Structure 1
């Protein structure tokens, strides 16, 4: 099975949940308030949607965040053509995956009727599952979630030691890196500047989802069930 986009995946996921659990109520893009903290310890409440929110017959909620990261591919399956986008930007993709875990933990801590939540990613880009960027001097070194890896509880931030200090300088006033035009490095802006300390650690386990022609799709599922 394959999907055109993240929205296509989300819709199919919701349908499968409902078919297998008729008592469930399913909400897509349910907006919730999440408390975020930036790297200057400034707190803010951000209103953002949970991709899928399940409400069971007892009123308990199960939040699910989904990611669908693809490499460019042109695939024909059962007479339907799938033109998959080239998402690249695996550095921001790794950060966003950790942010989803943070958001599910935050939601669970806030709502007593939530006992468990999930973060799910499906991709045909082996850079996520195979590349242990923790062993490399990449900017996203500390956000690696390769197979068998450990997602640490404490956020070690971006690996700014990898920046060229002849091109970037550190501003002690707001803890940001700026280039020679005093423009902030992209990781010091907006959502990429959040501090994402978690409540627990997670072991990463990637599994094969499907193989279609030369494209191999793998998934990783993180269960958030800390007490």
Structure 2
């Protein structure tokens, strides 16, 4: 068991629920530092990444990595986090947790793959890279239970339900679901409506082509159960 997996297990007992993604980020960073006082830790450290849009155009982006851990030998461990919640109001240890309704699971599935891509990209451009991690913690069963591939949703190729193999090849958004009477594929290889407004999957960070270096087997594990609300997590270790 490595330092990050140890911190996740310890937090299951110490902090079974969080107010927000920032709350989770701080709790993990604090726990890592407590157990490894010799480590250096940086939050939201920006790095330059080269991304490729689906129309083939490259773009340099400034992307903050949620947590970067550095050990005494100079090796670095970048960590990307996601905390996706369903609406809930939970009292735990005399502290009230009012969780937001994040929704937008289609964009959430895509952003999980994007986090993996970003860690792989960081790995390729940093000689002192040791391991990287992508963690998602959620009480939204749409992520760990629903196989959207079977439902032929627009995000079918980004499903990361329990037991699936996340394919290294980015098969793109499922544009067969678009209403072709409302959207056209223009000369720039972008889907737009009749007013030339880009479909949301063709704009900004949703338009990156995210081919990965390998396939990833997705496994969800129990994190906590509080007032009949179940939290599960998925951890990807990128070596």
The alpha-carbon deviation at position 169 of structure 1 amounts to 1.6
Look up the match of 1:222: 236
Q: Equivalences for 1:94-133 in 2 at 5 Å?
A: 94-133=109-148
Q: Contact conserved, 2:55 with 2:190, CA < 8 A, in 1?
A: no
- Decide which of 180, 191, 198 is 1:184's aligned counterpart: 198
Q: Aligned match of 1:161 in 166, 176, 181?
A: 176
Shift of 1:115: 2.0
Question: CA–CA distance in 1 between the matches of 2:232 and 2:137?
Answer: 6
C-alpha distance in 2 between matches for 1:176 and 1:40: 7
Once the two structures are TM-superposed, the CA of residue 179 in structure 1 deviates from its matched residue by 1.7
TM-score by length of 1: 0.97
Q: What's the secondary structure of 1:207's corresponding residue?
A: strand
Please give the alpha-carbon distance, in whole angstroms, between the structure 2 residues aligned to 1:142 and 1:21: 39
Q: Deviations over 1:175-221 (max 9, x none)?
A: 11112322111000011010001111100000010000121000000
- Please tell me whether residue 200 in structure 1 is matched to residue 214 in structure 2: yes
Cα distance in 1, alignment partners of residues 83 and 104 from structure 2: 13
Structure 2: unaligned runs, 5 residues or longer: 1-15
> How many angstroms apart in 2 are the aligned matches of 1:212 and 1:180?
48
* 1:87-132 deviations in Å (ceiling 9; x for gaps): 0000000000000000000001111110210000000000000011
CA distance in 2, matches of 1:115, 1:3: 28
Structure 2 residue aligned with 1:27: 42
Which shifted more, 177-186 or 8-17? 177-186
Normalising by structure 2, report the TM-score. Answer: 0.92
Give yes or no for the alignment of 1:90 onto 2:105.
yes
CA RMSD of aligned residues (A): 0.8
Deviation at 1:163, TM superposition (A): 1.0
Number of aligned residue pairs = 224
SS in 2 for 1:208: strand
Runs of at least 4 residues off by over 3 Å: none
- 1:60-75 matches, within 5 Å, as 60-75=75-90
Q: Which structure 1 residue ranges, 5 or more long, are not aligned?
A: none
The alignment partner of 2:149 has SS state of helix
SS in 1 for 2:25: helix
Cα distance in 2 for partners of 1:112, 1:200 equals 20
